[in-house]
Structure 1
Amino acid sequence: MKKFTLMIATGLILFTVGINQAIAQRGGDDKYWERRKEADKKRHEYIREREKKRDEYYRERDKKEAEYYRESAKRRKEYYKERRKHGIPSWARAHRYDARHHVYFRDYRTFYDPYRGGYVYLDGGNWRFSASIPSFMINVDLGRANIRVMNDVPVDRHPEDFYDDYDEEYWEND
C-alpha cells in the first residue's frame, strides 16, 4: 500500500512539474503573445469596420425602399383620385371592365388609358391623347365594340409604348 501511495504521489509531482514547465516555456515567448494580441486587435478592427459598412448599406437600402413605397403610394393615391374624379367610362359596364388595366379597341386602333383617364389613338402615324372620346369614335357604341384588356401592361405606363412589342396577330385575334 505504501508503494501504491508513493507511486501516486510521484506521478502527481511529475505531472505538476511537467505542466509548470510547459506553461513556463509558453509564457517565456513574449513575442508570440504580442503578435497574437496584435493579430486579435486587427481582426476585431476589421470586423468593426465591416459591420459599420454593412449597417450603413442597410440604412441606405431601407431609406431608398421607404422612399420608393412612399412615391408608389402617392402615385396610387393620385390615380384613384383621378379615377373618382372622372369615373369609369359609360361603356365599361357592358364589358365588365373595372379600370384596373388598359383597354385596346382593336377596330379603331385606340387605347383607353385609365391612369390618365383618356384615350390614346393613332393619328397620321403619331400617338395622340384625348381626355374625351376621339371624334371618329363618337357615334360608335363602345359597349359593343371589340376590345382587348391588356393585363400584362402596368397601369401607370403608357399603353402605346408597348404597341410595337406585340405582333399583328395579338392585336387582331381574340
Structure 2
Amino acid sequence: MKKILLILAFLCCVITNSKAQVVGVDVGDIAPEIDLPNVKGENVSLSSLRGSLVLIDFWASWCGPCIKEQPLLLKLHNAYPDKLSIYGISMDTKKPLWTAAIAKGKLPWINVSDLKYWQSPAVADYKLQSVPLNFLVDKNGIILAKNIHGKALEDKVKSLLEVQ
C-alpha cells in the first residue's frame, strides 16, 4: 500500500510540474528578468514594467534593420503611451554611439545596456544570436510573441490593446 501511495504522489508531482509555467524564451513562458543600466547609469528592471504590455527590443546603433524599425516603434509608443512600454536593450559597446542613436531616433522609451555586447547576461537568458530581436510580453510577464516586426508587430499590438 505504501508503494502505491508513493507512486501516486510521484505521478502527481510529475503531472503538476509538467503544467507549471517556466522562465524561458518560448511563447507562453515567463520572460527572464533583465536589470540593466539606462543612459544615466540607473538600473531599470524589466519586472518594474509589469502591469502593461511590454515590447523587449534588442537592437544596436550599427544595425540597419533595427534603425529602420524605430519609426514604427515610435508610432506604437505614441499611439499607446499608457498601455505599451518599450524596453530597448542596446548591443552597443560604446556609450557615445548608443546615446547618439537614441538622440537621433528620438527614442523616448526605456533604453538600457551594460555595454558588454555578447557577454551580457540578457544575451544568454534570451538566447540572442542576432539583432533585431524582440519579445512581446503581457502585463504578467508572459511572452505572447517573439521576433515579430513591421506590420505583424503593429497588428499584434493593436489587436491586444484596442480590445482592452
Q: TM-score, length-normalised on structure 2? A: 0.25
Structure with bigger RCO (C-alpha 8 Å, 6+ apart): 2
Q: Higher strand share goes to which structure?
A: 2
Structure of higher CA gyration radius: 1
Q: Higher helix share goes to which structure?
A: 1
